[in-house]
Amino acid sequence: MATEIAQTTPEAQAQHKGIVLTPIQKSAMLVVMLGSEGASAVFKNLDDREIETLTREVVRLPKLSPEAMDAFLEEVFESLAGYQYVSEGGSDYAKQVLSRALGTQRAGEMMGRSAGARGLPFSFLAQIDS
């Protein structure tokens, strides 16, 4: 089942280290970070119009600093962590995605910052593969 890709609105824009990312830019950035295999899996669930829109934005995506990418990934993680149930498994899934995207050390740091802000225990850090 295809889902609608969010349209750009001023209210939906977010500031990341001096870079304003629209919802569609965020979607494109996430698709790029997933790599070709992950992106292919996403595209299989979209209709033609959504694929065209997302592909056009991937082509236009500006080069972002590592800081802007970290801020974006932190936003993604916080969104995932806010759900009670994620089909792949909440915190464990977020850890896996961040570890693949950032490496184990940076993923652990990001998880620690996000967990610390919510007052959650840090026991999951010991379970991150090195």
Computed over its alpha carbons, how large is the radius of gyration of the chain?
15
As a whole number of angstroms, the distance between CA 53 and CA 6 comes to 10
- What would the pLDDT profile of 11-37 be if each residue is shown by its tens digit? 333 444 456 778 888 899 888 888 889
26 and 38 co-located in one domain:
yes
> Could you tell me which residues come within 8 angstroms of residue 51 by beta carbon, excluding any fewer than 6 positions away?
43
What angle (nearest 5°) sits at the alpha carbon of residue 90, between those of residues 84 and 94?
145
Mean pLDDT of 46-68: 88
How many domains does the chain contain in total?
2
Question: Does residue 57 surpass a pLDDT of 80?
Answer: yes
Question: Could you tell me if 91 and 46 lie in one domain?
Answer: no
pTM, two decimals, is 0.49
Instruction: Flag whether 21 is in a domain.
Output: yes
What are the tens digits of pLDDT across the range 95-129?
887 787 778 888 888 787 776 545 444 445 555 55
Containing domain of residue 42, as a range?
A: 8-63
Q: Are residues 78 and 33 in the same domain?
A: no
User: From CA 100, how far away is CA 34, in angstroms rounded?
Assistant: 9
In terms of domains, do 15 and 54 share one?
yes
The answer to whether residue 1 is domain-embedded is: no
